[in-house]
């Protein structure tokens, strides 16, 4: 192992040490680190540890976990300073240098953890999950520190803690919105859109002139802008979720159609000849060869549509809706300057969309386990 | 594809069933598994017609092992595909098992082994092998039994639950042979089945194929471009030549059927191989 000094660790030590010489906050009598001797000693210890570890005495996963633990402790110190000592809203160089020290240390820590390789599959899997988790936590922390430290107005960007408080405080409203938009509009529209896209693609495949006649038409419909379609759907199907489901149907139909049509042609010539040599009927070839071969394409469409559907339903609610729904809430709360509520809805939409996409990806892995992109994992 | 005008072809005409019935009886009396008369196939391409087959006369009897050999483009694969009703001839007559190829295909008279294994990656080996049985509507219990029987026959017992991509190329091709045999067709059509395999595996599979042929008594039609392979396996070698694709020689290989790899060193073997090579050389135009 090389004992060269690691630049990130060195930067961590230097930043932490320098931070101690600069004021923490503004005000008539600026706050200094020396006003909190306990914390100052802690930061000094942090700098010393960074300097010591920079030589590479400890490496790999232990180093990574050690550093992440240190950053967590440092983060707690930073949050204490922000909320309990009046540094919040007027943080100065001493505070930010300390944040930079944490940043450099976190970088080195994640680097060490991401480099972890193990033959033990579950250990490797756990560590692989740890990396994005720590990274996400760090980003949220940084968001919190920057918004609170600089005193960013909440209309511009609320801090994560404000969003979380709002989220926890309005679970009943969020649940009602989720039920209205996701369960009613998105799920039903998604099922109808994907189902009809699939059915029509079978028809298109069976009837040659439809391929020439219907595919360009489908292309045309898919090119219609959703903001133009949505008000018309509201006029046709009323204010409730049905009009939103209709928008979702229009958005999801075409990706499914196109993907399935090309998927049905994915089976190789040899494989088709084989079916022909057995005198297989059309539907036998369809079920035993062409649909299984089309599955990677179909799942592609299902994944694309899972995110498209949510966007479609939320945007469609901007154009008339009963007084419930994620899109409705976003458009009204932004008008009332309740941006933290808007963000709470965004968080929920992101969680729901990711979960939906993830569920489709898991199904895909189970169904197309044979595909070269998944094989090696078996 | 536009058929060029040629002598009438009752064998391919679905409206002439009575004539065909008479033909069936006559053919069965003669015992020919494959009978071709003046068979031709012309592809119409943008660059003009391509004569893939021209004036092919061929008779294959029950229990024979016949190899088609020739340079690429000589129509050997096309001829096999015409026999399998995967291509339509544009002239001449052809009967397979005494009926037109179309009927032979629908009554599953032949098993076809392709150049590549063409196993479906989403099915395990057992379900790949029983694919034709599933299409024919055979019960699951019987399918499982057949799979075991024929996988044992090609020495793949115990690999039922593996997926094709977990097997080597040679094993995959053996599985595809088991698949072609499992519904017990009278005729086995093999299109360069070992062409993609290395020489050692190929020799081994050739020996296994001979044993299989002796055990099952099938009629085998085998396409290859390897002279030793053709001489080693066949009872009859059909030498073909390109532009137009035609048969230029039919060579019987009458040395004993119980051949081993050492047979390839015997004078009789070398003599036949020499004749095949001469035939190929005579038929090959060296202008390219």
Place of tokens 């001829």: B79
| Phi-psi group of B115: left, alpha or beta (phi > 0 → left; psi -120 to 50 → alpha; rest → beta) | alpha
Q: What was the pLDDT predicted at B23?
A: 41
**Cβ pair B120:A271 closer than 8 A:** yes
Q: Could you give phi then psi for residue B84, rounded to 5 degrees?
A: -85, 0
Last residue of some domain: B184, B212, B229? B184
Q: Is residue B177 part of a domain?
A: yes
pLDDT, tens digit only, all 288 positions of chain B: 444 444 444 444 444 444 444 444 444 444 588 888 888 888 888 888 888 888 888 888 888 899 999 888 788 888 899 999 998 888 888 888 888 888 888 888 898 999 889 999 999 999 999 999 999 888 899 899 989 988 988 888 889 899 999 998 888 988 998 898 888 888 999 998 888 788 888 888 888 888 888 888 889 999 998 888 888 888 899 988 888 888 888 888 877 777 777 777 888 888 888 888 888 887 765 544
**pLDDT at position A256 over 70:** yes
SS (HEC) of chain A: CCCCCCHHHHHHHHHHHHHCCCCCECCCCCCCHHHCHHHHHHHHHHHHHHHHHCCCCCCHHHHHHHHHHHHHHHHHHHHHHHHHCCCCCCECHHHHHHHHHHHHHHHHHHHHHHCCCCCCHHHHHHHHHHHHHHHHHHHHHHHHHHHHHCCCCCCCCCCHHHHHHHHHHCHHHHHHHHHHHHHHHHHHHHHHHHHHHHHHHHHHHHCHHHHHHHHHHHHHHHCCCHHHHHHHHHHHHCCCHHHHHHHHHHHHHHHHHHHHHHHHCCCCHHHHHHHHHCCCCHHHHHHHHHHHHHHHHHHHHHHHHHHHHHHHHHHHHHHCCCCCCHHHHHHHHHHCCCHHHHHHHHHHHHHHHHHHHHHHHHHHHHHCCCCHHHHCCC
Q: Could you give phi then psi for residue B146, rounded to 5 degrees?
A: -65, -40
Q: Which of A282, A252, A280, A244 is nearest to A264 (CA)?
A: A282
Rounded CA gap, A232 and B140, in Å?
54
Length, in residues, of chain B: 288
CA of B187, closest CA in chain A: separation in Å?
12
Edge-to-edge, what's the strand order for the sheet holding B91-96? B48-61, B32-45, B91-96
**pLDDT at position A174 over 90:** yes
Whether B201 and B92 share a structural domain: yes
Whether B212 and B105 share a structural domain: yes
Q: What was the pLDDT predicted at A163?
A: 93
Whether B243 and B279 share a structural domain: yes
A101-109: average pLDDT = 92
Q: Is residue B11 part of a domain?
A: no
CA of A292, closest CA in chain B: separation in Å?
7
Assign A240 to helix, strand or coil: coil
Residues in chain A closer than 8 A to B86 (CB atoms)? 273, 276-277
Q: What is the pLDDT of residues A44-82, one digit of tens each?
A: 998 998 888 887 777 788 888 989 999 999 999 999 988
Closest to B135 (Cβ–Cβ): which among A268, A271, A280?
A280
Last residue of some domain: B126, B152, B184? B184
Whether B240 and B99 share a structural domain: yes
Q: What was the pLDDT predicted at B22?
A: 41
Rounded CA gap, A242 and A224, in Å?
19
CB-based contact B207:B261 (threshold 8 Å): yes
Q: Name the residue in chain A with its Cα closest to that of B122.
A: A370
Whether B151 and B207 share a structural domain: no
Q: Is residue B3 part of a domain?
A: no
**CA dihedral angle for residue A302, residue A305, residue A307, residue A310, rounded to 10 degrees:** -120
Whether B224 and B243 share a structural domain: yes
CA of B84, closest CA in chain A: separation in Å?
7
Whether B103 and B177 share a structural domain: no
Rounded CA gap, B38 and B33, in Å?
17
A6-12: average pLDDT = 88
**pLDDT at position A138 over 60:** yes
- The total of other beta-carbon atoms located within 10 Å of residue A221's CB is 14
Q: Is residue B15 part of a domain?
A: no
Q: Could you give phi then psi for residue A12, rounded to 5 degrees?
A: -60, -45
Predicted complex ipTM exceeds 0.85: no
Task: Tell me whether strands B236-241 and B246-252 are parallel, antiparallel or unpaired.
Answer: antiparallel
**Cβ pair B135:A284 closer than 8 A:** yes
Q: Is residue B175 part of a domain?
A: yes
Mutate to test the interface with A, among B114, B191, B196 (most CBs of A within 10 A): B114
- For B108, the token pair is 């599953």
Q: Does B98 touch chain A (CB under 8 A)?
A: no
Give the B window 119-138 contacts with A, CB below 8 Å.
Answer: 120-122, 131-132, 134-136
Residues in chain B closer than 8 A to A273 (CB atoms)? 86, 112, 114, 118
Q: Is residue B257 part of a domain?
A: yes
More confident residue, A199 or A209: A199
Name the pLDDT band for A160 (thresholds 50, 70, 90).
very high
Q: Which of A291, A256, A297 is nearest to A271 (CA)?
A: A291
- For A131, the token pair is 């990396």
CB-based contact B154:B1 (threshold 8 Å): no
CB-based contact B176:B151 (threshold 8 Å): no
Cis status, amide bond into B244, omega within 30 of 0: yes
Last residue of some domain: B126, B161, B184? B184
CA of B244, closest CA in chain A: separation in Å?
25
Whether B200 and B284 share a structural domain: yes
Q: Could you give phi then psi for residue A192, rounded to 5 degrees?
A: -65, -45
**CA dihedral angle for residue A165, residue A166, residue A170, residue A175, rounded to 10 degrees:** -100
* % residues pLDDT > 70 (chain A): 98
CB-based contact A249:A280 (threshold 8 Å): no
Whether B91 and B192 share a structural domain: yes
Q: What was the pLDDT predicted at B267?
A: 83
Q: Could you give phi then psi for residue B220, rounded to 5 degrees?
A: -120, 135
Q: What is the greatest pairwise CA distance in chain B?
A: 58
**pLDDT at position A224 over 90:** no
Q: Could you give phi then psi for residue A264, rounded to 5 degrees?
A: -65, -20
Q: Which domain holds residue B159?
A: 118-184
Rounded CA gap, B42 and B60, in Å?
23
Residues in chain B closer than 8 A to A299 (CB atoms)? none
Closest to A278 (Cβ–Cβ): which among B115, B120, B132?
B132
Local structure of residue B99 (DSSP, 8 states):
B
Residue B256: exposed, middle, or buried by beta-carbon count in 10 A (0-12, 13-18, 19+)?
exposed
Q: What was the pLDDT predicted at A220?
A: 82
Q: Name the residue in chain B with its Cα closest to that of A277.
A: B105
Q: Is residue B77 part of a domain?
A: yes
> Distance of CA A56 to CAs A8, A59, A104, B208, B274, Å?
11, 6, 15, 61, 73
Place of tokens 């009629």: B219
- For B92, the token pair is 């001449």
Q: What is the pLDDT of residues A338-370, one digit of tens each?
A: 899 999 999 999 999 999 999 999 999 999 888
Q: What was the pLDDT predicted at A3?
A: 53
Q: What was the pLDDT predicted at B285?
A: 56
Local structure of residue B2 (DSSP, 8 states):
P
Residues in Cβ contact with B274 at an 8 Å cutoff, skipping those fewer than 6 apart: none
In total, how many domains does chain B have?
A: 2
Q: What was the pLDDT predicted at A376?
A: 61
Whether B148 and B265 share a structural domain: no
Q: Does B84 touch chain A (CB under 8 A)?
A: yes
Q: Which of A98, A100, A93, A134 is nearest to A116 (CA)?
A: A134
Residues in chain A closer than 8 A to B108 (CB atoms)? 278-279
A198-202: average pLDDT = 93
Q: What was the pLDDT predicted at B25?
A: 41
CA of A301, closest CA in chain B: separation in Å?
20
Q: Is residue B253 part of a domain?
A: yes
Q: What was the pLDDT predicted at B31?
A: 59
- The total of other beta-carbon atoms located within 10 Å of residue A283's CB is 10
Whether B80 and B127 share a structural domain: no
- For A240, the token pair is 């409730």
Whether B89 and B156 share a structural domain: no
Mutate to test the interface with A, among B129, B132, B138 (most CBs of A within 10 A): B132
């Amino acid at each position: 192992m090389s004992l060269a000094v690691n630049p990130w660790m060195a930067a961590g030590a230097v930043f932490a040490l320098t931070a101690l010489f600069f004021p923490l906050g503004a005000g008539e009598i600026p706050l200094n680190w020396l006003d909190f001797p306990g914390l100052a000693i802690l930061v000094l210890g942090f700098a010393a540890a960074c300097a010591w570890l920079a030589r590479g005495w400890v490496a790999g996963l232990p180093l990574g976990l050690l550093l992440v633990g240190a950053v967590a402790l440092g983060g707690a110190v930073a949050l204490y300073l922000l909320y309990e000592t009046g540094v919040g809203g007027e943080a100065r160089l001493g505070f930010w240098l300390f944040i930079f020290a944490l940043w450099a240390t976190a970088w080195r820590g994640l680097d060490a953890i991401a480099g972890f390789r193990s033959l033990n599959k579950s250990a490797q899997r756990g560590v692989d999950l740890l990396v994005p988790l720590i990274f996400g936590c760090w980003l949220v922390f940084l968001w919190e520190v920057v918004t609170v430290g600089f005193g960013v107005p909440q209309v511009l960007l609320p801090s994560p803690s404000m969003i979380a408080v709002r989220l926890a405080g309005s679970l009943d409203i969020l649940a009602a919105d989720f039920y209205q938009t996701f369960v009613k509009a998105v799920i039903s529209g998604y099922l109808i859109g994907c189902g009809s896209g699939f059915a029509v693609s079978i028809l298109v495949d069976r009837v040659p002139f439809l391929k020439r006649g219907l595919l360009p038409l489908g292309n045309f419909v898919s090119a219609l802008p959703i903001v133009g379609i949505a008000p018309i759907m509201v006029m046709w199907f009323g204010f409730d979720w049905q009009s939103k489901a209709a928008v979702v149907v229009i958005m999801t139909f075409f990706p499914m159609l196109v993907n399935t049509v090309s998927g049905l042609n994915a089976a190789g010539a040899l494989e088709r000849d084989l079916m022909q040599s057995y005198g297989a009927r059309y539907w036998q070839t369809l079920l035993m060869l062409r649909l299984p071969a089309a599955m990677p394409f179909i799942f592609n469409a299902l994944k694309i549509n899972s995110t498209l559907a949510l966007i479609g339903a939320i945007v469609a609610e901007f154009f008339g809706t009963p007084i419930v729904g994620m899109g409705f809430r976003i458009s009204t709360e932004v008008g009332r300057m309740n941006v933290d509520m808007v963000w709470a809805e965004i968080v929920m939409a992101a969680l729901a969309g990711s979960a939906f996409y993830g569920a489709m990806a898991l199904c895909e892995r189970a169904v197309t386990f044979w595909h070269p992109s998944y094989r090696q994992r078996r | 594809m536009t058929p060029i005008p040629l002598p009438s072809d009752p064998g391919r005409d679905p409206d002439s069933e009575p004539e065909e019935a008479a033909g069936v009886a006559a053919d069965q009396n003669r015992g020919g598994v494959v009978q071709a008369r003046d068979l031709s196939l012309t592809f119409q391409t943008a660059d003009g017609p391509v004569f893939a087959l021209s004036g092919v006369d061929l008779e294959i009897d029950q229990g024979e092992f016949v190899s088609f050999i020739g340079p690429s483009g000589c129509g050997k694969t096309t001829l096999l595909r015409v026999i399998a009703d995967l291509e339509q001839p544009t002239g001449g007559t052809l009967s397979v098992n005494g009926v037109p190829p179309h009927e032979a295909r629908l009554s599953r008279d032949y098993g076809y082994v392709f150049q590549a294994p063409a196993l479906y990656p989403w099915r395990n080996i057992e379900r790949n092998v029983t694919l034709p049985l599933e299409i024919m509507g055979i019960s699951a219990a019987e399918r499982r039994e057949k799979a075991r029987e024929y996988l044992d026959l090609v020495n793949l017992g115990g690999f039922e639950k593996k997926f094709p991509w977990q097997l080597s190329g040679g094993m995959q091709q053996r599985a595809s042979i088991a698949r072609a045999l499992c519904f017990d067709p009278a005729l086995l059509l093999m299109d360069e089945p070992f062409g993609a395999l290395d020489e050692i595996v190929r020799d081994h599979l050739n020996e296994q194929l001979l044993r299989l042929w002796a055990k099952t008594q099938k009629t085998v039609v085998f396409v290859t471009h390897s002279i030793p392979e053709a001489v080693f396996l066949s009872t009859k070698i059909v030498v073909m030549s390109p532009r137009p694709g035609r048969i230029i020689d039919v060579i019987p290989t009458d040395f004993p059927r119980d051949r081993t790899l050492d047979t390839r060193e015997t004078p009789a073997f070398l003599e036949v191989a020499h004749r095949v090579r001469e035939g190929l050389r005579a038929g090959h135009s060296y202008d390219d």
